[in-house]
Amino acid sequence: MKHVLVLSTLYPNASQPRFGTFVARSMESLARRGDWAVSVINPIGVPPLGLGALSPRYRALRDLPERAVEGGVSVSRPRFSLIPKVGARRNVAAVTKAALKQAHTIHAQRPIDVVSAQFFFPDGPAAARLAKAFAAPLSIKARGSDITYWGGVDYARAAMVEAARQADGLLAVSDALARDMRALGMPGASIAIHTTGLDRDRFRPLGHPRLRAQLGAEMGLDLPNTAPLFACVGALVARKGHDLAIEALARLESAYPDARLLLVGKGEEEAALRRLVRERGLESRVHLIGAVDHDILPVILSAADIMVLPTVNEGLANAWVEALACGTPLVTCDVGGARDVVTSAAAGRLVERSAQGVAEGIVAILADPPDPDEVAALVQHFNWDTHAQELAQHYTALAG
Protein backbone atom coordinates (compact mmCIF):
# COMPACT_ATOMS: atom_id res chain seq x y z
CA MET A 1 0.00 0.00 0.00
CA LYS A 2 1.32 3.43 -0.99
CA HIS A 3 1.17 6.36 1.41
CA VAL A 4 0.15 9.96 0.65
CA LEU A 5 0.79 12.80 3.06
CA VAL A 6 -1.92 15.40 2.52
CA LEU A 7 -1.46 19.00 3.66
CA SER A 8 -4.72 20.93 3.83
CA THR A 9 -5.67 24.06 5.74
CA LEU A 10 -9.18 23.34 4.41
CA TYR A 11 -10.61 20.49 6.48
CA PRO A 12 -13.67 20.11 8.71
CA ASN A 13 -13.37 19.75 12.47
CA ALA A 14 -15.68 19.69 15.48
CA SER A 15 -15.60 23.49 15.69
CA GLN A 16 -16.07 24.07 11.93
CA PRO A 17 -17.90 20.97 10.63
CA ARG A 18 -18.67 22.48 7.19
CA PHE A 19 -15.20 23.90 6.52
CA GLY A 20 -13.67 22.04 3.58
CA THR A 21 -15.99 19.03 3.77
CA PHE A 22 -15.26 18.32 0.10
CA VAL A 23 -11.58 17.75 0.96
CA ALA A 24 -12.51 15.33 3.73
CA ARG A 25 -14.89 13.39 1.46
CA SER A 26 -12.15 13.21 -1.18
CA MET A 27 -9.59 11.80 1.25
CA GLU A 28 -12.08 9.40 2.83
CA SER A 29 -13.10 8.04 -0.57
CA LEU A 30 -9.45 7.50 -1.46
CA ALA A 31 -8.75 5.73 1.84
CA ARG A 32 -11.74 3.40 1.33
CA ARG A 33 -10.16 1.99 -1.82
CA GLY A 34 -7.44 0.24 0.19
CA ASP A 35 -4.54 0.92 -2.18
CA TRP A 36 -3.47 4.22 -0.63
CA ALA A 37 -2.93 5.00 3.05
CA VAL A 38 -3.91 8.61 3.72
CA SER A 39 -2.39 10.84 6.42
CA VAL A 40 -3.77 14.37 6.63
CA ILE A 41 -2.01 17.28 8.29
CA ASN A 42 -4.56 20.02 8.88
CA PRO A 43 -2.66 22.97 10.37
CA ILE A 44 -4.84 25.12 12.64
CA GLY A 45 -4.08 28.83 12.79
CA VAL A 46 -4.66 30.57 16.13
CA PRO A 47 -3.55 34.11 16.97
CA PRO A 48 -1.18 35.01 19.80
CA LEU A 49 -2.62 36.30 23.05
CA GLY A 50 -3.88 39.83 22.65
CA LEU A 51 -4.95 39.34 19.02
CA GLY A 52 -8.20 37.50 19.60
CA ALA A 53 -6.81 34.20 20.85
CA LEU A 54 -9.36 34.08 23.67
CA SER A 55 -12.41 34.62 21.46
CA PRO A 56 -14.89 31.71 21.49
CA ARG A 57 -13.95 30.83 17.90
CA TYR A 58 -10.25 30.45 18.62
CA ARG A 59 -10.75 28.84 22.01
CA ALA A 60 -12.74 26.12 20.27
CA LEU A 61 -9.94 25.62 17.75
CA ARG A 62 -7.32 25.44 20.52
CA ASP A 63 -9.36 22.73 22.23
CA LEU A 64 -9.39 20.39 19.21
CA PRO A 65 -7.47 17.13 19.69
CA GLU A 66 -4.12 17.20 17.90
CA ARG A 67 -4.60 13.72 16.42
CA ALA A 68 -7.69 11.74 15.47
CA VAL A 69 -8.97 9.13 13.03
CA GLU A 70 -11.90 10.54 11.07
CA GLY A 71 -13.73 8.63 8.35
CA GLY A 72 -10.88 6.13 8.09
CA VAL A 73 -8.29 8.90 7.69
CA SER A 74 -5.55 9.79 10.18
CA VAL A 75 -5.76 13.55 10.82
CA SER A 76 -3.13 15.61 12.67
CA ARG A 77 -3.81 19.22 13.65
CA PRO A 78 -0.66 21.05 14.68
CA ARG A 79 -1.15 24.71 15.61
CA PHE A 80 0.56 27.65 13.96
CA SER A 81 0.63 31.32 14.88
CA LEU A 82 -1.89 33.26 12.80
CA ILE A 83 -1.96 37.05 12.56
CA PRO A 84 -5.58 37.76 11.51
CA LYS A 85 -6.11 39.77 8.30
CA VAL A 86 -2.53 41.04 7.92
CA GLY A 87 -0.32 37.99 8.49
CA ALA A 88 -0.88 36.04 5.28
CA ARG A 89 2.64 36.78 3.98
CA ARG A 90 4.14 34.69 6.80
CA ASN A 91 1.65 31.82 6.63
CA VAL A 92 3.71 29.59 4.31
CA ALA A 93 6.61 29.57 6.76
CA ALA A 94 4.32 29.18 9.76
CA VAL A 95 2.36 26.29 8.21
CA THR A 96 5.58 24.56 7.13
CA LYS A 97 7.09 24.81 10.60
CA ALA A 98 3.93 23.48 12.24
CA ALA A 99 3.58 20.58 9.79
CA LEU A 100 7.20 19.49 9.55
CA LYS A 101 7.58 17.92 13.01
CA GLN A 102 4.37 15.95 12.61
CA ALA A 103 5.38 14.92 9.08
CA HIS A 104 8.62 13.43 10.39
CA THR A 105 6.65 11.35 12.90
CA ILE A 106 4.27 10.16 10.19
CA HIS A 107 7.15 9.34 7.84
CA ALA A 108 8.92 7.31 10.54
CA GLN A 109 5.79 5.21 11.03
CA ARG A 110 5.15 4.72 7.30
CA PRO A 111 7.38 6.17 4.57
CA ILE A 112 5.75 8.90 2.50
CA ASP A 113 5.37 8.14 -1.21
CA VAL A 114 3.66 11.38 -2.31
CA VAL A 115 3.07 14.79 -0.72
CA SER A 116 -0.20 16.42 -1.77
CA ALA A 117 -1.53 19.94 -1.14
CA GLN A 118 -5.28 20.41 -1.36
CA PHE A 119 -5.27 24.20 -1.80
CA PHE A 120 -2.70 26.39 -3.53
CA PHE A 121 -2.00 29.02 -0.89
CA PRO A 122 -0.51 28.71 1.63
CA ASP A 123 -0.73 24.92 1.30
CA GLY A 124 1.07 24.53 -2.04
CA PRO A 125 4.34 26.30 -1.18
CA ALA A 126 4.36 24.70 2.29
CA ALA A 127 3.80 21.23 0.79
CA ALA A 128 6.65 21.91 -1.65
CA ARG A 129 9.00 22.35 1.30
CA LEU A 130 7.74 19.11 2.88
CA ALA A 131 8.23 17.25 -0.40
CA LYS A 132 11.84 18.45 -0.56
CA ALA A 133 12.43 17.38 3.05
CA PHE A 134 11.30 13.81 2.27
CA ALA A 135 12.51 13.66 -1.35
CA ALA A 136 8.94 12.81 -2.34
CA PRO A 137 6.91 13.65 -5.47
CA LEU A 138 4.63 16.66 -5.09
CA SER A 139 1.03 17.19 -6.20
CA ILE A 140 -0.90 20.46 -5.73
CA LYS A 141 -4.60 20.96 -6.36
CA ALA A 142 -6.22 24.28 -7.33
CA ARG A 143 -9.84 24.82 -6.33
CA GLY A 144 -10.78 28.41 -7.18
CA SER A 145 -10.06 31.40 -4.99
CA ASP A 146 -6.58 30.07 -4.28
CA ILE A 147 -5.83 30.98 -7.90
CA THR A 148 -8.30 33.77 -8.67
CA TYR A 149 -7.66 35.70 -5.45
CA TRP A 150 -4.16 34.78 -4.30
CA GLY A 151 -2.92 34.85 -7.88
CA GLY A 152 -3.49 38.60 -7.73
CA VAL A 153 -1.27 39.06 -4.66
CA ASP A 154 2.36 39.46 -5.68
CA TYR A 155 4.09 37.52 -2.90
CA ALA A 156 1.52 34.69 -3.01
CA ARG A 157 1.65 34.41 -6.82
CA ALA A 158 5.46 34.15 -6.78
CA ALA A 159 5.37 31.44 -4.11
CA MET A 160 2.62 29.51 -5.91
CA VAL A 161 4.34 29.59 -9.29
CA GLU A 162 7.62 28.42 -7.73
CA ALA A 163 5.79 25.54 -6.02
CA ALA A 164 3.95 24.66 -9.25
CA ARG A 165 7.22 24.43 -11.13
CA GLN A 166 8.59 22.08 -8.48
CA ALA A 167 5.45 19.92 -8.53
CA ASP A 168 5.42 16.60 -10.37
CA GLY A 169 1.69 16.98 -11.02
CA LEU A 170 -0.96 19.67 -10.72
CA LEU A 171 -4.73 19.31 -10.48
CA ALA A 172 -7.50 21.82 -11.26
CA VAL A 173 -11.24 21.45 -10.70
CA SER A 174 -12.16 22.92 -14.12
CA ASP A 175 -10.73 23.78 -17.53
CA ALA A 176 -11.28 27.47 -16.80
CA LEU A 177 -9.19 27.26 -13.65
CA ALA A 178 -6.44 25.43 -15.53
CA ARG A 179 -6.35 28.33 -18.00
CA ASP A 180 -6.00 30.76 -15.11
CA MET A 181 -3.12 28.69 -13.74
CA ARG A 182 -1.31 28.75 -17.07
CA ALA A 183 -1.85 32.51 -17.28
CA LEU A 184 0.00 32.89 -13.97
CA GLY A 185 2.98 31.04 -15.42
CA MET A 186 2.32 27.56 -14.08
CA PRO A 187 3.41 24.69 -16.35
CA GLY A 188 0.37 23.76 -18.42
CA ALA A 189 1.63 20.27 -19.29
CA SER A 190 1.53 19.31 -15.62
CA ILE A 191 -2.14 20.24 -15.10
CA ALA A 192 -4.87 17.57 -15.10
CA ILE A 193 -8.57 18.19 -14.52
CA HIS A 194 -9.98 16.55 -11.40
CA THR A 195 -13.51 17.61 -10.48
CA THR A 196 -15.34 17.21 -7.20
CA GLY A 197 -17.28 14.14 -6.13
CA LEU A 198 -20.80 13.90 -4.77
CA ASP A 199 -22.71 11.78 -2.26
CA ARG A 200 -25.49 10.68 -4.58
CA ASP A 201 -27.48 8.97 -1.82
CA ARG A 202 -27.77 12.34 -0.09
CA PHE A 203 -27.94 14.79 -3.00
CA ARG A 204 -30.84 13.72 -5.18
CA PRO A 205 -34.30 15.09 -6.01
CA LEU A 206 -36.56 14.73 -2.97
CA GLY A 207 -39.99 14.93 -4.50
CA HIS A 208 -42.05 14.62 -1.33
CA PRO A 209 -45.23 16.74 -1.71
CA ARG A 210 -44.89 18.19 1.82
CA LEU A 211 -41.17 18.92 1.58
CA ARG A 212 -41.54 22.68 2.02
CA ALA A 213 -44.01 22.32 4.86
CA GLN A 214 -41.62 20.01 6.70
CA LEU A 215 -38.66 22.30 6.05
CA GLY A 216 -40.61 25.36 7.14
CA ALA A 217 -41.78 23.68 10.32
CA GLU A 218 -38.26 22.57 11.21
CA MET A 219 -36.77 26.02 10.63
CA GLY A 220 -39.69 28.09 11.89
CA LEU A 221 -40.33 29.66 8.47
CA ASP A 222 -43.39 30.24 6.33
CA LEU A 223 -42.62 28.50 3.02
CA PRO A 224 -45.87 28.19 1.03
CA ASN A 225 -45.99 25.60 -1.75
CA THR A 226 -47.59 28.12 -4.10
CA ALA A 227 -44.80 30.72 -3.95
CA PRO A 228 -41.41 30.55 -5.71
CA LEU A 229 -38.55 29.60 -3.41
CA PHE A 230 -34.91 30.47 -4.13
CA ALA A 231 -31.82 29.31 -2.24
CA CYS A 232 -28.45 31.05 -2.23
CA VAL A 233 -25.81 28.67 -0.82
CA GLY A 234 -22.33 29.90 0.04
CA ALA A 235 -20.26 31.70 2.64
CA LEU A 236 -21.61 35.18 3.37
CA VAL A 237 -18.72 37.01 1.74
CA ALA A 238 -18.91 39.82 -0.79
CA ARG A 239 -17.71 37.83 -3.79
CA LYS A 240 -20.62 35.36 -3.58
CA GLY A 241 -23.17 38.07 -4.45
CA HIS A 242 -25.88 37.49 -1.85
CA ASP A 243 -26.68 41.19 -2.04
CA LEU A 244 -27.51 40.82 -5.73
CA ALA A 245 -29.85 37.93 -4.94
CA ILE A 246 -31.66 40.15 -2.42
CA GLU A 247 -31.86 43.06 -4.87
CA ALA A 248 -33.16 40.70 -7.56
CA LEU A 249 -35.95 39.55 -5.24
CA ALA A 250 -36.90 43.17 -4.63
CA ARG A 251 -37.14 43.72 -8.40
CA LEU A 252 -39.45 40.71 -8.71
CA GLU A 253 -41.87 41.91 -6.03
CA SER A 254 -44.65 42.94 -8.41
CA ALA A 255 -44.51 39.71 -10.43
CA TYR A 256 -43.86 37.33 -7.51
CA PRO A 257 -44.93 39.12 -4.31
CA ASP A 258 -44.81 35.95 -2.20
CA ALA A 259 -41.42 34.64 -3.40
CA ARG A 260 -38.97 33.61 -0.67
CA LEU A 261 -35.16 33.63 -0.58
CA LEU A 262 -33.07 31.48 1.78
CA LEU A 263 -29.46 32.52 2.35
CA VAL A 264 -27.53 29.47 3.54
CA GLY A 265 -24.13 30.14 5.08
CA LYS A 266 -22.19 32.25 7.55
CA GLY A 267 -19.63 34.99 7.06
CA GLU A 268 -18.45 38.53 7.51
CA GLU A 269 -21.20 40.07 5.34
CA GLU A 270 -24.07 38.87 7.53
CA ALA A 271 -24.71 42.22 9.26
CA ALA A 272 -24.61 44.13 5.95
CA LEU A 273 -27.00 41.66 4.34
CA ARG A 274 -29.45 41.87 7.22
CA ARG A 275 -29.34 45.65 6.90
CA LEU A 276 -30.04 45.44 3.17
CA VAL A 277 -33.03 43.15 3.81
CA ARG A 278 -34.47 45.70 6.25
CA GLU A 279 -33.85 48.59 3.85
CA ARG A 280 -35.73 46.78 1.08
CA GLY A 281 -38.58 45.80 3.39
CA LEU A 282 -38.05 42.09 2.74
CA GLU A 283 -37.88 40.80 6.31
CA SER A 284 -40.78 38.38 5.75
CA ARG A 285 -39.38 37.04 2.49
CA VAL A 286 -35.59 36.79 2.94
CA HIS A 287 -34.27 34.44 5.62
CA LEU A 288 -30.62 34.15 6.67
CA ILE A 289 -30.54 30.66 8.12
CA GLY A 290 -26.80 30.30 8.74
CA ALA A 291 -24.78 27.17 8.19
CA VAL A 292 -26.86 24.00 8.10
CA ASP A 293 -26.20 20.34 8.67
CA HIS A 294 -25.17 18.48 5.54
CA ASP A 295 -28.31 16.34 5.84
CA ILE A 296 -30.55 19.43 5.72
CA LEU A 297 -28.88 20.99 2.67
CA PRO A 298 -30.37 18.48 0.16
CA VAL A 299 -33.83 19.19 1.62
CA ILE A 300 -33.34 22.94 1.11
CA LEU A 301 -32.03 22.48 -2.42
CA SER A 302 -34.79 20.05 -3.39
CA ALA A 303 -37.46 22.35 -1.96
CA ALA A 304 -36.13 25.36 -3.89
CA ASP A 305 -37.20 26.21 -7.43
CA ILE A 306 -33.81 27.78 -8.24
CA MET A 307 -30.36 27.98 -6.65
CA VAL A 308 -29.03 31.52 -7.08
CA LEU A 309 -25.29 32.28 -6.82
CA PRO A 310 -24.18 35.52 -8.56
CA THR A 311 -20.53 34.90 -7.73
CA VAL A 312 -17.47 36.86 -8.84
CA ASN A 313 -15.33 33.76 -9.30
CA GLU A 314 -15.27 30.05 -8.62
CA GLY A 315 -13.28 27.04 -9.68
CA LEU A 316 -16.15 24.58 -9.80
CA ALA A 317 -18.51 25.42 -6.96
CA ASN A 318 -19.65 22.39 -4.99
CA ALA A 319 -22.95 24.20 -4.42
CA TRP A 320 -23.57 24.23 -8.19
CA VAL A 321 -23.16 20.47 -8.45
CA GLU A 322 -25.13 19.74 -5.27
CA ALA A 323 -28.06 21.87 -6.43
CA LEU A 324 -28.21 20.25 -9.85
CA ALA A 325 -28.01 16.79 -8.26
CA CYS A 326 -31.12 17.72 -6.26
CA GLY A 327 -32.91 18.64 -9.49
CA THR A 328 -32.64 22.39 -8.91
CA PRO A 329 -31.51 24.62 -11.81
CA LEU A 330 -29.00 27.45 -11.33
CA VAL A 331 -28.87 31.16 -11.88
CA THR A 332 -25.20 32.02 -11.72
CA CYS A 333 -22.53 33.94 -13.61
CA ASP A 334 -20.26 32.89 -16.45
CA VAL A 335 -17.20 32.42 -14.25
CA GLY A 336 -14.77 29.59 -13.59
CA GLY A 337 -16.22 26.19 -14.43
CA ALA A 338 -19.84 27.36 -14.68
CA ARG A 339 -20.03 26.31 -18.34
CA ASP A 340 -18.93 22.82 -17.32
CA VAL A 341 -22.20 22.34 -15.42
CA VAL A 342 -24.67 24.80 -16.99
CA THR A 343 -24.68 22.93 -20.29
CA SER A 344 -28.34 23.40 -21.24
CA ALA A 345 -31.45 25.37 -20.37
CA ALA A 346 -32.43 22.55 -18.02
CA ALA A 347 -29.34 23.30 -15.91
CA GLY A 348 -30.22 26.98 -15.60
CA ARG A 349 -28.99 30.34 -16.87
CA LEU A 350 -25.63 32.13 -16.92
CA VAL A 351 -26.40 35.79 -16.36
CA GLU A 352 -24.82 39.22 -16.13
CA ARG A 353 -23.60 39.88 -12.61
CA SER A 354 -26.23 42.44 -11.67
CA ALA A 355 -29.55 42.47 -9.85
CA GLN A 356 -31.33 42.86 -13.19
CA GLY A 357 -29.40 39.99 -14.74
CA VAL A 358 -30.21 37.71 -11.81
CA ALA A 359 -33.90 38.71 -11.93
CA GLU A 360 -34.09 37.99 -15.66
CA GLY A 361 -32.53 34.57 -15.18
CA ILE A 362 -35.01 33.72 -12.45
CA VAL A 363 -37.97 34.81 -14.59
CA ALA A 364 -36.74 32.72 -17.54
CA ILE A 365 -36.54 29.55 -15.45
CA LEU A 366 -39.88 30.11 -13.70
CA ALA A 367 -41.51 30.55 -17.11
CA ASP A 368 -40.26 27.15 -18.27
CA PRO A 369 -39.23 25.04 -15.26
CA PRO A 370 -37.26 21.88 -16.09
CA ASP A 371 -38.04 18.41 -14.81
CA PRO A 372 -35.97 17.73 -11.66
CA ASP A 373 -34.91 14.28 -12.83
CA GLU A 374 -33.66 15.74 -16.11
CA VAL A 375 -31.64 18.32 -14.16
CA ALA A 376 -30.15 15.69 -11.84
CA ALA A 377 -29.10 13.52 -14.78
CA LEU A 378 -26.83 16.33 -15.99
CA VAL A 379 -24.39 15.74 -13.11
CA GLN A 380 -24.68 11.98 -12.87
CA HIS A 381 -20.96 11.61 -13.59
CA PHE A 382 -20.05 13.35 -10.32
CA ASN A 383 -19.50 10.69 -7.66
CA TRP A 384 -16.88 9.95 -5.03
CA ASP A 385 -15.92 6.50 -6.36
CA THR A 386 -14.89 7.87 -9.76
CA HIS A 387 -13.23 10.83 -8.04
CA ALA A 388 -11.16 8.50 -5.82
CA GLN A 389 -10.19 6.26 -8.74
CA GLU A 390 -8.86 9.24 -10.71
CA LEU A 391 -7.00 10.56 -7.68
CA ALA A 392 -5.42 7.16 -6.99
CA GLN A 393 -4.26 6.96 -10.61
CA HIS A 394 -2.78 10.46 -10.37
CA TYR A 395 -0.82 9.66 -7.20
CA THR A 396 0.30 6.27 -8.53
CA ALA A 397 1.72 7.89 -11.65
CA LEU A 398 3.71 10.30 -9.48
CA ALA A 399 4.96 7.63 -7.06
CA GLY A 400 6.21 5.46 -9.92
Please report the pLDDT score of residue 288 as a whole number. 97
What is the crossing angle of helices 154-166 and 123-133, to 10°? 40
For residue 84, the one-letter residue type is P
pLDDT average, residue stretch 349-365:
98
Percent of the chain with pLDDT over 90: 82
3-class DSSP assignment, residue 336: coil
Average pLDDT, rounded, for the chain: 94
| Distant-in-sequence, close-in-space partners of 54: CB < 8 Å, separation ≥ 6 | none
Distance CA 243, CA 262 (A): 12
Please report the pLDDT score of residue 63 as a whole number. 84
| Distant-in-sequence, close-in-space partners of 346: CB < 8 Å, separation ≥ 6 | 329, 370, 371, 374, 375, 378
pLDDT average, residue stretch 93-102:
95
Span 211-377: which CATH code? 3.40.50.2000
The CATH class, in words, for 2-197+383-399 is: alpha beta
pTM of the model: 0.87
pLDDT tens digits along 110-155 = 999 999 999 999 999 999 999 999 999 999 999 998 999 999 999 9
pLDDT tens digits along 232-270 = 999 999 999 999 999 999 999 999 999 999 999 999 999
Distance CA 72, CA 97 (A): 26
Please report the pLDDT score of residue 333 as a whole number. 97
Burial class (CB in 10 A: 0-12, 13-18, 19+), 370: middle
pLDDT average, residue stretch 372-387:
95
Distance CA 28, CA 371 (A): 33
Please report the pLDDT score of residue 96 as a whole number. 97
Given a contact cutoff of 8 angstroms between Cβ atoms, the answer to whether 358 and 331 are in contact is yes
Looking at the chain, the domain(s) classified CATH 3.40.50.2000 span 2-197+383-399, 211-377
Distance CA 396, CA 400 (A): 6
pLDDT grade for 305, boundaries at 50, 70 and 90:
very high
> Cα–Cα distances in Å, from 314 out to 251, 311, 319, 367, 382?
26, 7, 11, 28, 17
pLDDT of 51 above 70: no
pLDDT grade for 200, boundaries at 50, 70 and 90:
confident
pLDDT average, residue stretch 175-192:
95
For the four alpha carbons of 364, 369, 374 and 378, in that order, the dihedral sign comes to positive
Please report the pLDDT score of residue 86 as a whole number. 74
For residue 320, the one-letter residue type is W
Please report the pLDDT score of residue 169 as a whole number. 97
pLDDT grade for 50, boundaries at 50, 70 and 90:
low
pLDDT tens digits along 100-117 = 999 999 999 999 999 999
Q: How far is it between the farthest Cα atoms of the chain?
A: 67
Distance CA 21, CA 5 (A): 18
Please report the pLDDT score of residue 54 as a whole number. 61
